[in-house]
Structure formats: C-alpha cells, structure tokens
Structure 1
C-alpha cells in the first residue's frame, strides 16, 4: 500500500493503531479493511493541515509584501534572507540589494550599528520578546534616516530554533518635530540663542564638582532699548535684537562659550576653560564696539550701546547663585557709572555694597519703629542774622548700631528700595505739624517750612490731596509751605513734576527754585511757573568764598539782575563764612543758609532761635 501523504513514519502509525482496533471485541472489520479506512482518515487530516499551512503562508506573504511597515527576515546569524518593498523603498534601494546584509550593518553610525547588534543578542539569549529603539539607518544616498526599529523572532520548523525579524517605521517627521520642540524649549524663539533655562542648566553643569579651570560670566544689557521699540516700533526692535544676537555669536565664538538671551534686551555669555580676566575683558570690549556699529534696516542705521558686568573666577569659588549675583552687581555698577561700558566684579566693593543694601532694607522697619526725626537748616535774613526767614526740613536717622545718619546716607537707598514716598510723606506731615506748632506759639514770627520733594513724591498722584489735607488739619495757610525744586526736575520730559507744582502753587504754596546759572532762571518764564524764590546754589556761591574774581562777581550780578526782572526774592545756600554772607548781601541777596549760621538745628534749637528774634 502506498504511504499516505508521503509523510515518513505515517504507515507505521496507521498499522499500530489498526492492530489495536482490530483486536478489540465487537469490531467486525478485517484488519486490512480497517487499515484502509485509517489511511483515508490520515490522508484527509494531512490534506487539511497542508491546506491550512498553505493558507497561512499565503496570508503571511501578502502581509509581508504589502505592509507599509518595512520588514526584513533574517537567519539565525543575523543575515537578511528576505526584505519587503517597504523597507527597500525606505532605505532607497531594492529588496534584493538587502539580502545577505547583516541587520546591524543597516545602522547609519557605529553607535546605531552597536544598538542593533545589542538588540539581536537580547532577543536571542534572553526572555525579551522584542527590542525597540529609535535610531538612524543608512539610506542609499549615504544619509541617515530616523526609524522606529523593532526586533523580534519567528519560530523555525525545528523546535528551539528561531529567526530574527526586523520591523521598521519611518520616524523622520516625529523625530524632526520632537527635535523642533526640544530646540524651542531650550532656545529663544526670536534670536535662536539659548534661553535662560538652558543657560542656567549649563551654568550649573560648568560649576559641577568635576569641573576644572576658570569660568567667566558676562551679563550684558542694551542701553535705552525702549527708545528703539517706542520710537521705531516693536518690529524694528525685534530685527535689532536679532542683529545683536548675530554680533554676539560672532564675537563669542569659542567652542566652550554659550551666548543666551535672558530677558527682553538682556543677554548672558558663559565662557569656560583656562581664562584670564584680560582676555574676557578684551572680548567684551570688542562686543561693545561691534554693537555700536549701525545695523541698517531700510533707511534706518541703528547702533546701540550696551553695559556689561563681568565675573572671572575659578570654578571652585562659589556656586551658580554667587556667580550670577556677582555678575548682576557688576552690571548694575556699569549702569550707575554712566552706561555704555563694562565693569569687572570687585569683591571689596561688594562687601561695602552689602552693608549699604542692608541699610536700605532696614528703612521700612526704622520708620515704623520711630527711628527717624526732623532736622532743620535755618535760613536767616542777611540784614539780621537773628531773624529766621524759613527752615529747610530734612530727615535724620538714629540708627541703633551706626548712630546718626543724615539723609545723604540713606535717601539714595530709599529710592532703590521704594521707600522714597513713605519717607517723603512722613517728612511732609511732620514738618507741617511742626510749622503749626510754631505758628500757634509764635504767630507771625514763626518761619516758613521749606521741603525739597523727592521726585517720586513730587509726581505721586496723592501728593496734592495729602498737602491739602495736612494744611486743613493743622489750620495752616498754604503760604507757610515752601516747595523746593531744581532744573533737573523741571526738565522731566513727561511734565509730571511741573503739573504737581503748578497745582500746589494754585493752592497757595510758595515755589522755590535752586539755580546755578541764568539758564535755570529762564525755565520760569518758559514754563510759566509761579516761582516766588530763587536760591543761588553750587559754583556761583562757592566762587565767592575766597577773594572772588571779577568774573565770579559779574556772574552773580547777572543772576541777581535777571531774578529781579522775574520779581523773585533771592536767597543762597551753602554759605560758609560771615564775609561770604556779607558779600552776597551787598549784591542783593536777601537770605541765606549754611555753616555761617548753623549746619543743622533740632526742634528745640529752632524754638530758641525764634524766641530770640521774637523778644
């Protein structure tokens, strides 16, 4: 009898089962007949199995050939046996060109090839069912293409044997999108420079315990950039910022250097390696010079100036916060020194500044705790030094550790910490209260109170209401209050100081203008100010101290003549000696203050002076 299905060993199986079934009681078939029937059963079973296997092969072949996913079948050694059209197209070739190549050889770089080789080893010797990685594969044009790669296995015909399968999906768009998002997350969208987040991360890395050599940090701010934005528009401003970024990248082009945009018009530069302060300063000077060269946008040639703060130190000297703080302080000093220049961080200056800043931070508490008092500069009439014309009110701070501090020692700090307005309001209210007390006690012999308003208080919208409320509360006529200002305040481009002074003048307060030349006096008619008093100050008074020359006296006479034309009462400040006071009186000055009378006076001392005059 022929072997059913041609399968080796199948006849023996049929005969063994035939013998068993034939030997069973109740079976009426002969062994030959039973064997024939079993052969038919086996042939049907084999045919069914072959059909299912062929169908599975056809389905796999269709999936393999038509799949949009690139697929390669490899032998146990990793060499490609078959590749589908999708993989060949993705790699820019034909399927037959991939046959025989090792799967790892498809990697674009050595690192990509090692990752493929590692994946093959993992799925071969471990229980890992698949290995997935995003990497670059080699394209036919010698470029790299990004792919999501999956390695897995298919079982072979023999038990325990499997074949590697490579599956590839195009990841170029996803990778490009992710790279774009990553780039945007660490770079400034306008200039393409690193942003503040990346800059801080790199700074922390540069100061890690393993770092060596030196590090330099440069903070650079564009001076007056608001003028460009407001004058030419934000679009022009953006183009200028891009031009600034290009110039900075050109100057700071070393491999271990990072340039970042940290704020609207603020930039940071980080340098690492074996650095000398002179080298870094040279680069900064070159950058400032390059920025000054015009950037031409249409008809506009726009150049900018910049201020820079520089810190150069060993990496072991402090952390990121210390370095950033030092750069900020150096930048602040550069701006205070007049802008358009650089400043190198100086630890000794920093120590002094720390003490100053601590003082500024204590002002609010000191005001609340009653550590401030009024101090006065008496202004006397030059025809009778015993008679007070006015007192200029100021502040004195009785510091618990440093003793008595005059306003020049803390007012600039108050301006920085935002305490100028609270101090100014305290000065105004207490001064008017003192004026009311003197007026109640001494009547017409009481002096006027003169207050120099800090600029921030002079433009405060609540100032007029505050003055009126205080005058009403103390039943004071407005003429007892003198408000002193100078030409710099009057030249405020927004005119806010002028507006406040005009309103206060309309209430009845007297306006006092300190002058050092005729140009200051000309501000009065130009702005139609209701100024009653002009106070000579500065060089015009100092020139009269020791044997004044004819030019000094001629200048004095010109000022007094013009002041009289404007119907002003003329005073002087900073008068040191009685001789100087006498000379001023001889030329027409009516009143003066300074060391020839008293450098300062307390409330009680002012009371004594008033009492002596009032008899």
Structure 2
C-alpha cells in the first residue's frame, strides 16, 4: 500500500514489467505527474491501450464508480486495502467502503460529482486496515471522460479502450451528463503525522511544554462557541472559570541568575500548576487546561465550572504549591504568584471580555500586595472603567470648557471677615454630571493632564480675583488661593506660567496664594525648591495644605519659603462634641503646639473643615488666624462671593 517508495520510471507507452513502489513515478506517462489527484485525473484522460493494465497494477487503490455510486471495477490495491477480493467489490457501494456518508457536507459533495454537477471532490478519512491498524486516507473523486466505448456492454470498456477528452467537459457549466467517476484512495498517514507534530510544536511552549497562547485561545474560543447542554450530575454546565496568574519577582531571577535558571524555574512552576489542575475532581471535560501565555504569565482554564468557590479553591491550591522552595542546579529559589480569578456563564461571554476581566483582576491582586488571589468584582471594575473614561476625556474637556470653578471663603477667626477664597475646580461631565476634585485630580496627576488643567485653573482664578477687585474698588481686595500639584512643579515652568498670568490679568502677586500638599513640599530640593523660592521672591505666598498628615518635618519649615500652614481637618474634627462627649484633649494640644511654632516662624495658620461655632471659638482662642469650612460657607459660584463682599463679615 505504500505510495512513498522510489523506483525507475518505465518508458511512455509501455506497461511496467514489474511492480514499482511509487505510483506517481510508475504511471507518470499514463496517469500524470504529481499528487494523487494528478494521478487520478491522468488516469481518466490517458489514451494508451495499456491503461487497463496500469490501472490494475497500480499501488494506489482505485475504483471506477457509476453515477449511482456502485463500483464498476476496482484494482488489487483497493482490494488489499479493504480486505475484499477485487471481483467481489463490483456493485458494492463505494461510499460505504471509504465512509463518505459520515457527514452531510461530504456526502453532498460526493453526490454532486456523481451527478455531473461538480468537477472534482476530495476529503480525508480515517480508515481501518484489515490487519487492525488505522490509516489516514485522502479520497479523491473525479469524473471519467466519455469514450467511444460508452455504449459498450463490457463493464471495463471505459478504461483505456478509446480516446478521452481533457476530463473537464461539462464541468464548467455544471451540467455534465452523469457518467462514471474514478475514485482513488491515497495513504497520507505519514503526512498527517508530520502535520500533527508540526502543529504540536506550533501550539506548545518549548520551555514548559505547556499549551501556548495560540492553543489556549483556540480552546477558549471553542468552549465559548459550544452551546451548553444539561447534565444533572455536573451542575456547572454552561459556566467557565479562569485563573490568570503572574509570578511575582520573576524578572529578578532572570536578571541575577540568568535565563537558563529562569527557564528551569518556569518549567518547574509549570509542573506544579499541572499537578494542581489534575487534583481537580472528575469532570466531563477532563482536567483544567494549563497554558503559558508568555513571559511569566500562566492561565488555568476550567471548563464547566461549578462556581467561584471552585476557582478560589484552585487558586489557594496553586499558591500553596508555589510556596514550597524550588531546588534548581544547586539554587534554592522561592517564588510567589498573583492570581486573578474570573468565573461567569458561557452565554454572553467573549474571549476578549473574559481575558480583559482576568487581566484587570490580576492587576488588583498585585496592587493589593501580591502573593494572593483576587476575584473579579463588577463594582470595582465599574470604578476602574469610570477612571479610564475620565482619563481619556480630561484633556479634551479642558479644551471644550467643561470645567468650572467654585470658591470657598477664608475667614478671619478674630473678626469673621472674609480675607480670601480658595478656588476649587469642578468638572461638569456630560455623562457623570458635576464631579468634585477628588474624582478626577488624582487621575489628572497620573496621566499628566494636571499641567494643562492646573494652568487653566490658575488663569481663570486670577482673572476672577482681579474682576472682583475692579467691581468693588471700595472694598479691600480678596486674595485667591489656588492648589498646585507636584507634577506642575516638575513637568512645567510654573514660575513662568505664574508670571505671565499675573501680567496678563493685572493681579498683584501678593493676592495670589499657591497651595501644595505637605508631602510635596517636605524634602524639596533642586528644581522644586528653586521654583518655590522664585515664586516667593515674586511676592506670591506659598501655603502647605493638609499640614500634620504627611512627613511633618517641622524643622524643615525654617528652610522653605512658606507663608501659610493649613491644618488638616482631621485635627479640627477632634474639637467638636459628639454624642455628648468632650473634644479630644490630645488634638487640641497638638494644634496649639503647631500654631505656636508656626507663629514663631512667622507663618500664619488656617484651620480647615470648621463646621461648628464651638470649634471656631476654640481655634480662635488657640490662635488660628483664618478658618475655612461649612460653618462659614460651602464652595459657591463667583456671583455669591461678589454678594459677600458687601457684608465681608460672616457670622460664626
């Protein structure tokens, strides 16, 4: 049956004197050069008188089949393949011998050739040899050409007893009269095995021998595309789970010990992950699929998941397995992993959506401290998606004019007179409504858009302060306090921006106060310190916001060009009576000490979050200079501040 051995080619026009191993070479002059299809088509068009002998002696199994699908004649090679004498094959159904009715598409295509509506047909089938071994066979069916013997009564008269056409008559217009067809069966087992080996190499990671990213997504897509069916013994029908894990600190292993040790560690990790997957209970789909997706990332796919509990149990098992040290080439290594766990119904789930959720959850696991598993949380994900939406729209929002500024009064503690206002930016988002600074400022600092936004706030606030001054010339001018992010100091020329804006708006530098957080100011050196000093030399006041919650390096205050300390509201909260209890003596003592120290350094003190008259009285008695909070006023529109300018004094 072999169709791969070699032998000399006989001269054209003569029958071979002895069998030759290669069908392609033996019958080239009669049957055509090339693949089995060429052999079949060549056999159909050969005009030599010895065609019948070549057909019968060919090592390629072949049969002539009539338009009803019954065998007219078969050669000895086909007889040997199916284990039935050649004469006994006559009038048998060819499709039964080579399993052509196994699926509807194959059967339909085969019948189309028989009925003259298709020019050729080819398929691959796994057949059983009489000796018990199986083989992969490529079955080719092509029409036989019409000959002068078409009207003869001899069943073999169409094979080699007359001239033939080119084998395509009637095929072009799809209306060839039904006739005989030539069916050939080529053993392609070796080719299939080679293809199988090549596919294995393409679909598996060479380091860990696990399925790679390509095979993982192929399997995942197949699972999601397969409709679920009910089975009471396995309640997880129609659900899917994924553990997506990343090794913590693996890069350090590669960098310090080299990629050879790193690869061995990956292989050892893969073996433990496989063991963990195989420990899962009985499942109709077998053990979960473990794959290496690239680098130090692995995935464990659980088909027919029974719920989140199954996935978290598997994640715990994995973490416990990885806690045990690895002994590799004399190196004793420890490694941990962060795992994102996702479990959901197959219906409505896409491969992309599942992997995005898993990737997000893995990020949470690392952000939460690593060496842990984290389950996907829709609410947390919604918050993340909101952050992404806000981040992508921050810069365009400034250009579209979606930001506004409200102003909160800063009031003298001794007389209740409004001394200045703090500018608080708001985002009038078209989808999420009016957003306070805590919803978007941190995002702006992360992506750098705070520089553009901060410049806009500074210009708008200074312009508004100057307008109040011009509209109320008889009133002492209000100073304007504007928050400045650390990134504005580092990533922009803040000093130049401030100088240009003051010149543009005509505002006196003494009426501008810039607020920076304590953690941003403490430890300032180099460019930040130079910028603060230049601003102070310009006449701009520098205030430390939320003082007392950061580094609280009081000695450093003497070396900074700071004019104002704003006490964090956490201390002020301790001044109020709650549920009939007395205020915190410790908070009062701490605030009193900070106020006295600030005054000795020549600084003024502002208390934030003043909400009650009792708080205001105690803060005034301690010596705070100005207060800010709901007791006096919430942040309001510029028009409301203009109204307050007439009264100036706010009742506490």
TM-score by length of structure 2 reads 0.60
CA 1:259–1:427 in 2, change beyond 3 Å: closer, same or farther? Answer: farther
Distance in 2 of aligned mates of 1:527 and 1:265: 50
Distance in 1 of aligned mates of 2:350 and 2:483: 45
1:252 — aligned with what? 277
SS in 2 for 1:534: strand
CA 1:245–1:530 in 2, change beyond 3 Å: closer, same or farther? Answer: farther
1:569 — aligned with what? 604
CA 1:189–1:579 in 2, change beyond 3 Å: closer, same or farther? Answer: farther
1:553 paired with 2:583, answer no
Cα displacement (A) at 1:327: 3.7
Deviations 1:11-38 (A, max 9, x none): xxxxxxxxxxxxxxxxxxxxxxxxxxxx
1:202 to 219, 228, 248: 219
CA 1:261–1:432 in 2, change beyond 3 Å: closer, same or farther? Answer: farther
CA 1:319–1:230 in 2, change beyond 3 Å: closer, same or farther? Answer: closer
Map 1:134-533; keep pairs closer than 5 Å: 175=194, 179=197, 182-183=199-200, 185-187=202-204, 193-212=210-229, 213=237, 214-221=239-246, 228=252, 235=259, 245-253=270-278, 255-262=286-293, 266-291=297-322, 303-304=335-336, 306=338, 308-328=339-359, 330-331=361-362, 334=365, 341-346=372-377, 367-388=398-419, 390-398=420-428, 404-411=434-441, 420-440=450-470, 445-454=476-485, 456-461=487-492, 463-489=494-520, 509-515=540-546, 517=548, 520-522=551-553, 525=556, 529-533=560-564
CA 1:531–1:316 in 2, change beyond 3 Å: closer, same or farther? Answer: same
CA 1:259–1:522 in 2, change beyond 3 Å: closer, same or farther? Answer: same
Cα displacement (A) at 1:261: 4.4
Cα displacement (A) at 1:393: 1.0
Cα displacement (A) at 1:421: 4.5
1:586 paired with 2:621, answer yes
Cα displacement (A) at 1:604: 2.0
Name whichever structure is richer in helix by fraction.
Answer: 1
SS in 2 for 1:445: coil
Cα displacement (A) at 1:271: 0.8
CA 1:187–1:385 in 2, change beyond 3 Å: closer, same or farther? Answer: farther
Q: Which runs of 5+ in 2 are unaligned?
A: 1-11, 26-53, 61-79, 84-96, 100-112, 141-158, 162-183, 230-236, 281-285
Q: Which runs of 5+ in 1 are unaligned?
A: 1-51, 65-73, 81-101, 106-116, 120-125, 152-158
Q: Aligned Cα RMSD in Å?
A: 6.0
2:73 — aligned with what? none
Cα displacement (A) at 1:321: 4.2
CA 1:281–1:551 in 2, change beyond 3 Å: closer, same or farther? Answer: same
1:543 — aligned with what? 574
Structure with bigger gyration radius: 1
Distance in 2 of aligned mates of 1:236 and 1:517: 51
Cα displacement (A) at 1:591: 1.7
CA 1:338–1:367 in 2, change beyond 3 Å: closer, same or farther? Answer: farther
Distance in 2 of aligned mates of 1:344 and 1:333: 9
Distance in 1 of aligned mates of 2:189 and 2:277: 41
CA 1:316–1:538 in 2, change beyond 3 Å: closer, same or farther? Answer: same
Cα displacement (A) at 1:186: 3.7
1:607 — aligned with what? 642
Cα displacement (A) at 1:513: 2.0
CA contact (8 A) 2:418 2:648 kept: yes
